[in-house]
Amino acid sequence: MNIFPTNVLPTIMQDAIKGVAAATGAPPEAIIGTLLAEASWAVQSHYDVQLVFNDWKLSAPSSLFTLTISESGGRKSVILANLSEGRNRYEEEASRDYYKRLIRYKGDMEIFNAQRQEIIRKNKASMVKNDDLYNHDLTEPKRPPNPKSNQSNFTTAGLMTEMAFCRPSIGVMTAEAGIILKGYSAGAGNGGEFEFATTMSLLWDKGEADKNTKESGKISYSGRRLTVGFMCQSVAARAFLASDIMQQQGMQARFLINQVGVVESPECLLDGDPMAEANASKVKAFNDRLYELHRESPKCDIDDEFILAPKLLQWENQDSSNPLGIWYNHVGRQVERGDHHGSNTFFARVTEHACRIAGVLAAFEGYTKITNKHAEAAVAIIEYFIAERRSLDVGEETSTLNNLKEATEYVRGWFQKQKTKGVTTMTKKFFLDNARGGGFKHMNATVKANILEGLVFEEVIKMEIAAAGMTKVTNIQYLL
C-alpha cells in the first residue's frame, strides 16, 4: 500500500481525515476516496474545470469517480457516515421546501390538465384546427427537482429517472459498491454492463446522457453532473477490473482507484473525552463546508432548473510556470503515452484527473481561481493514484472462486423462485430448510458449507437479495 500525501490537502480536509482516522482507526488511504468524492459532489454544480493541455482551451466537469478497495472490517460504512453529514443535513432541510413546492405543482397540474381537456373538447366540437392546444402546452407547470439524490443501490434506469426528477447535481456514494459492480446494475450476464458503462462515461466526460423510450424515442439529458464514491471488497473490484466491456468503454479509466490494507480497531474514547470532542470538531468543519456548498444555489439554465450551467474555474497561472503544466510536459505526457501499461487507459487520462482534483480543492476552499498550491497538491495526489493503479492486487480467478460463482448463480435462481412465489421475508431457518437440493447438492463441499454457515462474500449475498427484488430481509446477518 502506498502512503497518501495528506499534508498537501487544504487544512480543512487534513483535519477531517485526522478526525475520521482517530474515530474509526482507518488510515488516510481508506478515507481519501470518500472525502474527495463528497467534496466533488459539493463543487460540481458550481464549477467546471479548465484543463492545462491544448493551450488551455478545453474544460471538463469537476466531477470525480473514486473507488476504494477495502476488505470486510475496513470501516467503509462508518467512514461514509462521518463524511456525509453535511450533505444529509442539506437534503433534509431542502426536502421540507421541496414538498411544499410539490404540493403546489400538483395543484397547478390539475388546473393545467382540466384546461387542456376543455381546449380539446372545444376543438372537437368546432372541428377547427388551431394553435390553442399547442400554446397551452407551452405553459405546462415545471416539476420542482427533488433535492435528495443518492441511489446507493442504483440501476442505470434508476439513474436516468434521477436525472428526470432530482436535482441535476447527482451523486452515488456507497460503502457497498459490490452490489453495483457485481450485481444488478453492472454485473456481467444481465445485459447491464454496456449500458452502465456508456451512461456513466458520458456523464463523467460531458455531464450528459441519453435514454431511449418507445413512446418518445431518444431523450437527452444535458447539464447534469455525476460524482461517484464507491467502496467495495476486492472480490467486487476484481470483477469490475476484469470486465472487457468496462475496459473497452473506458469506464475503469475514469476512476481514481486505491487499495487499503488491514484496518486496526480504534482506541475507544468515551463521550465527553476532550480528544473525542476535538476529533468530532475537525470532521464538523468539513461537513459544514459541504452543507454550505450544497445549499448555495447553483447557476442553472434561465428556463430550466434541471439544467446546470456551471462557471469555468480557470487557472490563476496560465503559462509555462504552472506546476501542473510543468508536470504534464515532463511526466504526464510520458505516463499517458507509455505502452508498458497495456490497455489500462487510466494512464491516458491522468492529467485530466489531476486538473479535476485541483479544481475540487480550490473550489472547496472558496477560491475563484486554481492556484499554484492547488496544482502542486494535485500533482502529489495523482502520483499517489498512479502508484496505486500500478500496484493493484485484487487476486485472480481460482477454482474456489469458480465454485463460488456456481454457488451464487444457484442462490440467485433460488431467490428468484421465492420472489415468484411471493416470498418477501428471508430468515435463516427458511433458507436452511428450503435452499437445498437441485444444483446445490453438486457444489464444492467447502463452498456449500460456507453458504450455509454464512461465510460467503458480503457483497455477493447482498447482490443476490437485491437482484431477487426482496422487499424485506430479516436476520440477514447470518449470511454475512
Q: How far apart are CA 190 and CA 156, in angstroms?
A: 12
56, pLDDT greater than 70: yes
Domain with 416, as residue range(s), is: 399-479
Q: What is the CATH number of the domain that holds 361?
A: 3.40.50
Q: For residue 203, tell me if it sits in a domain.
A: yes
Position 477 scores a pLDDT of: 38
474, pLDDT greater than 70: no
Q: Where is the domain boundary, 361, 391, 421?
A: 391
Q: Among the ranges 137-146, 150-159, 215-224, which has the highest mean pLDDT value?
A: 137-146
Choose the weakest-confidence range: 41-50, 340-349, 413-422, 456-465. Answer: 456-465
286, pLDDT greater than 70: yes
Q: How far apart are CA 82 and CA 61, in angstroms?
A: 26
Q: How confident is the model at residue 185 (pLDDT cuts 50, 70, 90)?
A: low
Q: How far apart are CA 234 and CA 239, in angstroms?
A: 9
Q: Are 469 and 333 contained in the same domain?
A: no
User: Closest Cα partner for 310 from 225, 228, 378?
Assistant: 225
392, pLDDT greater than 70: yes
The number of folded domains in the chain is: 2
Written in H, E and C, the secondary structure of 10-56 is CHHHHHHHHHHHHHHCCCHHHHHHHHHHHHHHHHCCCEEEECCCHHH
Q: For residue 102, tell me if it sits in a domain.
A: no
317, pLDDT greater than 50: yes
Position 455 scores a pLDDT of: 43
Q: Are 453 and 424 contained in the same domain?
A: yes
Q: For residue 108, tell me if it sits in a domain.
A: no
2, pLDDT greater than 60: yes
The tens digit of pLDDT for each residue in 255-271 reads 999 999 766 655 554 45
Q: Where is the domain boundary, 344, 359, 391?
A: 391
Choose the weakest-confidence range: 103-117, 260-274, 374-388, 459-473. Answer: 459-473
Q: How far apart are CA 36 and CA 76, in angstroms?
A: 15
Q: For residue 350, tell me if it sits in a domain.
A: yes
**Torsion on CA atoms 283, 69, 28, 336, rounded to nearest 10:** -110
Q: Are 271 and 370 contained in the same domain?
A: yes
Q: Are 332 and 474 contained in the same domain?
A: no
Q: Are 474 and 432 contained in the same domain?
A: yes
Q: Where is the domain boundary, 338, 371, 391?
A: 391
Q: For residue 111, tell me if it sits in a domain.
A: no
The tens digit of pLDDT for each residue in 103-138 reads 999 999 999 999 999 898 888 887 777 788 888 988
Q: Are 334 and 408 contained in the same domain?
A: no
Higher pLDDT, 445 or 256: 256
Choose the weakest-confidence range: 35-44, 201-210, 352-361, 463-472. Answer: 463-472
37, pLDDT greater than 50: yes
Q: Are 168 and 225 in contact (CB under 8 A)?
A: yes
Q: For residue 193, tell me if it sits in a domain.
A: yes
Q: Are 238 and 383 contained in the same domain?
A: yes
Q: Which pTM does this prediction carry?
A: 0.77
Q: Are 356 and 429 contained in the same domain?
A: no
Q: Are 35 and 62 contained in the same domain?
A: yes
Q: Are 366 and 472 contained in the same domain?
A: no
Position 284 scores a pLDDT of: 95
Choose the weakest-confidence range: 109-118, 135-144, 305-314. Answer: 135-144
Report the pLDDT averaged over residues 289-315.
92
Q: For residue 131, tell me if it sits in a domain.
A: no
Q: Are 315 and 356 in contact (CB under 8 A)?
A: no
User: Closest Cα partner for 129 from 120, 139, 137, 138?
Assistant: 120
Mean model confidence pLDDT for the chain: 81
Q: Are 149 and 169 in contact (CB under 8 A)?
A: yes
Which class for 304: exposed (0-12), middle (13-18), buried (19 or more C-beta within 10 A)? middle
139, pLDDT greater than 80: yes
Q: Are 380 and 438 contained in the same domain?
A: no
471, pLDDT greater than 80: no
Q: How far apart are CA 44 and CA 38, in angstroms?
A: 10
Contacts with 372 (C-beta within 8 Å, 6 or more apart), sequence order: 316, 317, 322, 323
Q: How confident is the model at residue 458 (pLDDT cuts 50, 70, 90)?
A: very low
Q: Are 285 and 411 contained in the same domain?
A: no
Q: Could you give the percent of the chain with pLDDT greater than 90?
A: 40
Max distance between CA atoms of the chain, in angstroms, equals 81
Q: For residue 87, tell me if it sits in a domain.
A: yes
